[in-house]
Structure 1
Amino acid sequence: MAARYRKLKEIPVEQRLVVRRSHIHGWGLFTLMPFAPNDMIVEYMGEKIRRCVADQREKKYEEMGLGSCYLFALDASTIIDATRAGGPARFINHCCGPNADAKVVAVDGVPKLVIVARRALAVGEEVTYDYKFEYENDKIACHCGAAKCRGSMN
C-alpha cells in the first residue's frame, strides 16, 4: 500500500483531478485521467484533530453559518478537518451508488486517508463515495441520482 501511495504522489493532483460544479451538490471532484479499479485517486488532507475538538468545531461552523464543514474520521479518536485548509478531496460528493471508497493506509507507520476507485473511472467522471453518516432522526436529503438512492445520507 505504501508503494501505491507513493505512486499516487508522483502525478500532481492538478493533472489528475479538477474541482467544478456538480449536478449532485454544489462543487464536485472530477477526473482528468482514467483510473483503474483499486487505483488511489487522492488523499483526503486537512488538520488532524481529536474527536472532542471536532465536535466543538462542528458546532462553531454551524453557528458561523458556513453551510458545509469537511470533517472526516481517520480512526476512532482522530478527525481530519479540511473545512478551512484541505485538498480537493473535500469536494467529493456523497452517492448511494459510489464509484470510490475511503480507505486508511499506513505509510511509514503514519495513517493516511485515501480515496480508492471502486471500479474503472473515465476522464471527466465525478468521483463519489458513500459518506455513511450515522443514523439520525433529522434526515439529510440526498440528491445523488443513483438508481438505488436511499433518499438521505443518514
Structure 2
Amino acid sequence: FFFFYVGQSIRQVIADMRERRYEKEGIGSSYLFRVDQDIIIDATKCGNLARFINHSCNPNCYAKIVTVEAQKKIVIYSRQPVNVNEEITYDYKFPIEDEKIPCLCAAENCRGTLN
C-alpha cells in the first residue's frame, strides 16, 4: 500500500515563519516535511492522515519523493505487509544537529535520537 503526504507546498522562509507562529499559537506539533532544498509540505492545518505516521528506527514503511505531472509529491510506501492494528511508521531521517531530539520508538536498533 501507499499514502500521499498531503499539505500546502511552501518555501523554507515561509516554513520558518509558520513554525514560529505555530509555537506562539500553542500548536504542539507542526507537520513540515521537506521535499527538497526549496520546497516543504506543510500538513499542519490542511493535511491528511499521513501526517500522523510516527517515526521508527525500524520502520515498516519508507518515504519517497516522486514527480507527478511536473510536481514533486511525497509518497509513503509499505516495506512489508502491515497487519490490522499495527502502527504504520517510517524513518523521518532528520538532519544531524547539535540539539538532539530523543527517539521514543523503542525498536531494538533504536538510534536514541531522531537527528
Q: TM-score range by the shorter chain?
A: over 0.9
Residue identity matched to 1:42: F
Indicate the residue corresponding to 2:69 in structure 1. 108
| Aligned-partner SS, 1:126 | coil
- Return the index of the structure with the highest Cα Rg: 1
Residue identity matched to 1:96: C
Which of 119, 122, 125 matches 2:83? 122
Hey, what's the Cα distance between the residues in 2 that align with 1:137 and 1:76? 20
Alignment of 1:57 with 2:18, yes or no, is yes
1:4-153 counterparts in 2 under 5 A? 39=1, 41-153=2-114
Shift of 1:108: 2.3
Query: Greater helix share, 1 or 2?
Result: 1
Residue identity matched to 2:32: L
TM-score of the superposed pair, with normalisation by structure 2: 0.92
Hey, what's the Cα distance between the residues in 2 that align with 1:152 and 1:68? 17
What stretches of structure 1 move > 2 A for 4+ residues in a row? none
Q: Quote the sequence identity (%).
A: 51
Cα deviation digits, residues 116-145 of structure 1 (max 9, x gap)? 112222222111011111222222111111
Shift of 1:79: 0.5
List gaps (5 residues or longer) in structure 2. Answer: none
Number of equivalences: 115
Aligned Cα RMSD in Å?
1.2
List gaps (5 residues or longer) in structure 1. Answer: 1-38
Residue identity matched to 1:103: K
